[in-house]
Amino acid sequence: MTLDDRLRPPARERLASPVQHVHLGETASMLRAEPHAPVSGHRQVALVRHGPLSLILFAFEADGYIKEHRTEGEVTIQVLRGRIAVTVDGDEFVLGGGELLSLAPGQPHAVRAHEESDMLLSICRDPGEL
């Protein structure tokens, strides 16, 4: 992929500054306005990658999803707007704006948006595993 093909600068360039100021609502709106089709009904952008911490903003269309996966590190899923379902070990947690779910490292989970939704994902890895 060439730089001309990219929708935005690479994360290592965008996140190089020691201070990041992000307006989550504006960033989600910019994601939705990108010209490419969403993958699995969502778009995402890394907002922070600093040592063991990553913050990723997701803009979901209705019925957008992330298939079941595992993440090495503590995970929090915070719904900023809309309504999503997180399935963990067969249990479904339906979260609305302002709600948060925390998952232990390695916990398998899947996400599906019931409606157009914005989600902030945080991952904190064990610094010894970086």
Structural domains in the chain plus CATH codes: 3-11+20-129 (2.60.120.10)
User: What is the pLDDT tens value at each position of the chain, 130 positions in all?
Assistant: 444 456 777 877 888 888 889 999 999 999 999 998 899 999 999 999 988 999 999 999 999 999 999 998 999 999 999 999 999 999 999 999 999 999 999 999 999 999 999 999 999 998 766 5
Strands 83-88 and 91-96: antiparallel
**Residue that the structure tokens 């157009």 belong to:** 116
What is the pLDDT at residue 10? 80
Strand order across the beta sheet in which 117-124 lies: 42-50, 53-60, 117-124, 74-81, 100-103
- How far is Cα 66 from Cα 52, in angstroms, rounded to an integer? 22
What is the pLDDT at residue 2? 45
Between vectors from CA 78 to CA 72 and to CA 74, what angle results, nearest 5°?
Answer: 20
What is the pLDDT at residue 4? 46
Give the residues across from 49 on adjacent strands.
Answer: 54
Whole-model pTM above 0.85? yes
- How far is Cα 122 from Cα 48, in angstroms, rounded to an integer? 9
